[in-house]
Every structure is written in C-alpha cells, then in structure tokens.
Amino acid sequence: MEQFRNRPVRCALTNRVVEWEECHVDHKSPLTFSVIVRSFIVANGIDTKAVEYAHEGGRERFASRELAERFKAFHEEMAVLRLVAADQNAKLSSGARIKPTSKDHTLGEDSNGGV
C-alpha cells in the first residue's frame, strides 16, 4: 500500500502502470517463496509432519505463535519483493515451483542412495 501512495506504480516486469486491484506482490527469483520456506525448514530443523496449524478467518496459520514469528522474521530478512501485473505473475508462478526430479539426491549420497 505504501508504494501506491507515491503513484504511479509500475509492473516490475513490463513497466506498465498498474492499480492495486490488478497487481500481485511477487518474490523475485531466485529467492522464491518456496525456496524461502524450504530454507527455513532446513535451517531450523523442522519436522513438517509435526507442525500444527490453526484456522483463523478462513486461512490456515501456524498454531505456534513463536514459529510464526520466527518464519516472519526469516521471510522479512530473505525476501526480495516486487509488484507485478497479475497476468504476468500468473505466467511466472508455475516456473518458480521446486519440482523434484529423478536425479535429485541429498548432498553426500551417491547415485545409489548411499553415502
């Protein structure tokens, strides 16, 4: 909202002027949202199966306020955010996901899964 006080706001990808209703906040690659989440999980040794969630206002949230605050601080430190036109962001979203492949291995593993 702060950006819209100093109009006009331009899409970071197309330089087209956009209104609040027609833009999204995007995580600039390579620190996409999925990369930030994965980094937080690894850096904090989180067992994702043990994380509990609460439902507030139709949205799912961490049940642990401490975990939520740690993630918020981590995200604020890592994220590079930009405003992009909604149609442009839709084109980017599938390419930003981390998709496992058959060649993925944990560091230290050989191709047969051993160390």
Residue 107 lies in a domain: no
Tell me, rounded to whole angstroms, the distance of Cα 107 from its chain centroid: 23
Question: Residue 96's closest CA among 45, 24, 46?
Answer: 24
Residue 53 lies in a domain: yes
Q: With a cut of 50, which residues of the chain have pLDDT below it?
A: 115
- In this prediction, residue 3 carries a pLDDT of 82
Residue 46 lies in a domain: yes
Residue 76 lies in a domain: yes
Q: How many domains does the chain have?
A: 1
Q: Which domain holds residue 25?
A: 2-96
- In this prediction, residue 115 carries a pLDDT of 47
Residue 114 lies in a domain: no
- In this prediction, residue 105 carries a pLDDT of 63
- In this prediction, residue 112 carries a pLDDT of 55
Task: Output the pTM of the full model.
Answer: 0.71
Query: Distance (Å, rounded) from C-alpha 44 to C-alpha 78?
Result: 15
Residue 112 lies in a domain: no
For 10-68, what is the HEC assignment? Answer: ECCCCCCEECHHHEEEEECCCCCHHHHHHHHHHHCCCCHHHCCEEEECCEEEECCHHHH
Strand partners, 59: 56
Residue 44 lies in a domain: yes
Q: How far from each other are the two terminal CA atoms of the chain, in whole angstroms? A: 50
- In this prediction, residue 91 carries a pLDDT of 77
- In this prediction, residue 51 carries a pLDDT of 95
- In this prediction, residue 106 carries a pLDDT of 60
